[in-house]
Structure 1
Amino acid sequence: MSYSVKGKRVAILAANGFEESELQSPRQTLKAAGAEVEIVSAEKDTVKAWAKTDWGDDYPVDRALAEASADDYDMLIIPGGLFNPDSLRSDTDALNFTRRFFEQHKPVGAICHGPWVLISAGVINGRDVTSYPSIKDDLVNAGANWHDQEVVCENGLVTSRSPEDLEAFNNKLIEELAEGKHKRQVA
């Protein structure tokens, strides 16, 4: 089935240390499908990737987190890596930004350790999710229903385990973005 995302706007929330492939792959896939994709960050000018075992490339920040509004986007994506979600979950602006997507019933994607941000934003209780296996207990303790699957989607919330699952994650992101708001996607 073909889904149109042309003209839809997507925010990728990133701090230094995001897993490079988990930002780069969804961004390329969504852009190729016609979506506008912006990197939103509290970092100035650029944000630095982590590429599996060492620092990766610098990516230009398109919008400062302090100036970003969920009102301007149709979807939020939170890449993983260890450093990225750990930084974001202690940033009040990042948590408020994340929470607003749920309040507006908009689709959200999180991969690998990205669901840590969802825990700290208080939007994970009772939701079906997956993640990198090492944070399974964190999600379960926050009230989520954890599943060991390449991608789990529930009412606009798309989660995946790791870079190995990016193809399934990207396909589901496009589908959910095309569908738009989900009434049951709530904070």
Structure 2
Amino acid sequence: MTTTSHRQQHLPAPVMEPDGDRRPIITTAAGRAMAVLRIAYGLTFLWAFFDKLFGFGYATKSGKAWIDGADVTAGFLKGSSGPMKGFYQSLAGDWWVTPLFMVALAGLGLALTLGIGLRVAAVGGVLLYLMMWSANLPPTTNPVLDDHILGAVTVVVLALVAAGNVWGFGKWWSSLDFVRKYPWLR
């Protein structure tokens, strides 16, 4: 083996820390893997947004899309189960629920795909994932973990490792004056 095969390439990735931003080192491969994970999660949110907006026939049937005037959250909310069933069913049909849900899908999708505002996206993603999880309790395949809990954990990890700095606009976003003034926007 050559000496270059023993060297690891490193990539700086700021981490959210209570005492300020420090710059730990992660490998280039780890940074790229996190970028792929970030983009993949972002695209799942964007796909959900566009499918519900236009009704491509996957989760949202053609003619039942938001653009057709349909309430794309009502079916899910009416089908809620478990201890939070009454709360979620009471939201079905409220004028503000679908627009807020659609803005959340688009915002999370754009933030994750572009690698900007990952701290805000993490908070919003955790709220959305936990609400969708709690709308259908108990989970049917695993009594504790399901894809919603794993998604919530993932968006937090992506924010903590500043995954938007690799193959994204995270560094540029962090350099903007208003983001420097309000670091929670990173």
Give the TM-score, by structure 1 length. 0.25
Higher helix residue share: 2
Between structure 1 and structure 2, the one with the greater Rg is 2
Give the TM-score, by structure 2 length. 0.25
